[in-house]
A and B are shown apart, each in its own frame.
Chain A
Amino acid sequence: MRRANLVCGSLLLALGALSLVEALRLKDDWQGARLMPAVLAVVFAGLGAGHFAPALAAAERPAWPDVPSRRRVGFVFGVLVLYVAVLPSLGFLPATALFVLVLLRALAAFSWTVALALTAAIALASHVVFKHWLGMPLPSGPLGL
């Protein structure tokens, strides 16, 4: 049996248990707020069990990327998480400029001049359109940008 299916099947069984616990916890009748969690508990249990069936066990192996690709994916996602984390304190324009510059330099062999020009264009355009034109309350940071 493929390990991935075993893990996913177990996760679905866990979700089934969670749904059952939630259905039992709720203070409402069984034709009210409890109904759907209870139905889902049964559905998850059935689907979780289905993952242990031989037909699914013989399914294709997951196509996990090689180590360099995995690092690239991890790096891009890490930069994205960091961007979202610093956005409120740094402000939209500086954080966006840094985010775009780092990704442009990391994903392609752009020269500093090209990367800086593209960064300025993207960051300024998004600042003007979303913050000023559409009036989105994006964080300003200490520089007021």
Chain B
Amino acid sequence: METLGFLLHGFAQALTPTNLMFAFIGSVLGTLVGVLPGIGPTSGIAILLPLTSFLPPAPAIIMLAAIYYGAMYGGSTTAILVNIPGEVASVVTTLDGYQMARQGRAGPALAIAAISSFVAGTLGLVGLTFFAPPLADAALRIGPPEYFGLVILAFSVVVSLSGASLVKGLSAAALGALFALVGLDPMSGVRRFAFGTTTMLGGIDFIAVIIGLFAITEVLLSVEESARAVSLAALGKLMPRWDELRRCVGTMLRATGVGFFLGLLPGSTPGAISFIAYDLEKRVSKTPERFSRGAIEGVAAPEGANNATTSAGFVPLFALGIPATPALAVLLSGLMIYGLQPGPMLFEKQPQFVWTIIASMYVGNVMLLVLNLPLVGLWARLCRVPYAVMAPLILLFSVLGAFSVRNNFSDVGMALAFGVLGYLMVKLGYPTAPLVLALILTPMLENALRQSLSMAHGSPLIFFTRPIAVTLIGAGLALTAWSLLSRRAPQ
């Protein structure tokens, strides 16, 4: 009851005209940050952080938080319309979202992305409201062996993302793992796979990879087919059908559960979690063969999961002062600028501030739904713009997106190289999604593995002495076996 009282008081503050205005500005800017490829929530918050310095703490943090969750909403738009993930968490959305757009169903895809984001984001906030302190405490007990188990579980997704050939899917994942190792080793500082050059020392940036593999590859493939537009099919209904919405209810709830609980763990990114949610949905579906061919659940699951993860990330941030993602780390610095030290004492010392921010996030989620749903028709019409106009625009945004990562042209060159690699992979029947997943997971896997071995003085038995780690590793192996058996069944 005390929590509800605090929350109601937070709403009273969040609904003041000033705070409402900054939540709105943040939501709009966040949507824009999500739509523009290359400018993710982290750089979006970092760019706009200095602009909020003239504001009091509450409106400033309300605006920065709204940019963060707004970017999660906006990232799906270009993923669905032109196969460019606006941010990392939307990579999975391209698998079915873009297929739906090609079939003339961009409207329902965009609408379900907005609805699923709203439902999962709001349910995630309910979790944040009621379970923040105890859940954050539990998350703190998770160490490197448990993270290793979590990454093994996430890696099991590779099998179901492999498409027709398991060997080709695993080869793509191995390539992703190799690219993840390029640069300075974060633990020992030694150079790996840098071949004596300084440009490779900073590693291969993720944004350059996804821009190359998704945007540039897609343009090359479309140019080859001399595509006239993404979709020439009639736009038809812009909202999902009732039966689709009903089917997606379970999807959204499952995605919320996966996104929220895994999102509590610091270091587990929305990008990796959206893959897990997508895989879960494919596994529970009676018709998994529809996935990657325009299944509406394939859009609802990753979009729901990444928004639930976004809400969950605020739990360790507020309760423990631990940012779960790089974007939250920038937000944390924003809090510290105002002399607010997140941690167990924040709820006690600054209850009005914390509950105002949490309440404003409920309001912001409603704003995003209201902002995004009416725009569905407008966005969907973009699919009918002639491809001769879209192609230069997509390539231009790709160059700008890759350049914006570190403001240098070596990342642009990297994106071009990955464009060629992606094109060849598609032509030769290699799926690109396992490469992306391995690129995200390998640094986490390596850190967790090495830290665990270090903790146990080199003994791998540590993974079998920790119940949560054993359970997660067992679940990962079981899911891999299940996927392998399911692949054999139709034959």
Q: Which of B142-150, B233-241, B345-353, B388-396 is the interface stretch?
A: B388-396
List the A side residues contacting B47 at CB < 8 Å: 134-135
Given known pairs A60-B429, A126-B396, the reply for A104 and B226 (CB within 8 Å) is no
Q: Are B450 and A32 in contact (CB under 8 A)?
A: yes
Q: For chains A and B in complex, what number of residue pairs have CB atoms within 8 angstroms?
A: 149
Q: Are A59 and B181 in contact (CB under 8 A)?
A: no
Q: Are B388 and A107 in contact (CB under 8 A)?
A: yes
Residues of A participating in the B interface, judged by any CB pair closer than 8 Å: 4, 8, 12, 15, 18-19, 22, 26-28, 31-33, 35-37, 40, 43-44, 47, 50-51, 53, 56, 59-60, 62-65, 69-70, 72-73, 76-77, 80-81, 83-84, 87-88, 96, 99-100, 103-104, 107-108, 110, 118, 122, 126, 130, 134-138
Given known pairs A137-B407, A138-B403, the reply for A47 and B427 (CB within 8 Å) is no
B425 vs chain A, min Cβ distance (A): 10
Q: Are B400 and A130 in contact (CB under 8 A)?
A: yes
Q: Are B192 and A22 in contact (CB under 8 A)?
A: yes
Bound-complex Cα distance A61 to B220 (A): 20
8 tightest A-B CB contacts, nearest first:
A108-B388, A107-B388, A103-B392, A33-B185, A50-B167, A69-B224, A100-B392, A33-B188
**Residue of B with least CB distance to A96:** B396
Partner of A80, one of B216, B430, B453: B216
Q: Are A35 and B428 in contact (CB under 8 A)?
A: no
Residues of B participating in the A interface, judged by any CB pair closer than 8 Å: 39, 47, 164-165, 167-168, 170-171, 174-175, 177-178, 181, 185, 187-188, 190, 192-193, 216, 219-220, 223-226, 386-389, 391-393, 395-396, 399-400, 403-404, 407, 409, 412-413, 416, 419-420, 423, 427-430, 442, 446, 449-450, 453-454, 458
B76 vs chain A, min Cβ distance (A): 21
Q: Are B188 and A69 in contact (CB under 8 A)?
A: no
Partner of A36, one of B165, B175, B391, B442: B442
Bound-complex Cα distance A32 to B185 (A): 9
Bound-complex Cα distance A103 to B479 (A): 47
Q: Are A47 and B174 in contact (CB under 8 A)?
A: yes
Q: Are A99 and B165 in contact (CB under 8 A)?
A: no
List the B side residues contacting A37 at CB < 8 Å: 181, 192-193
Q: Are B412 and A108 in contact (CB under 8 A)?
A: no
4 further interface pairs, Cβ-Cβ under 8 Å (given A22-B192, A32-B185): A35-B449, A80-B216, A99-B396, A107-B392
**Residue of B with least CB distance to A60:** B429
Q: Are B400 and A136 in contact (CB under 8 A)?
A: yes
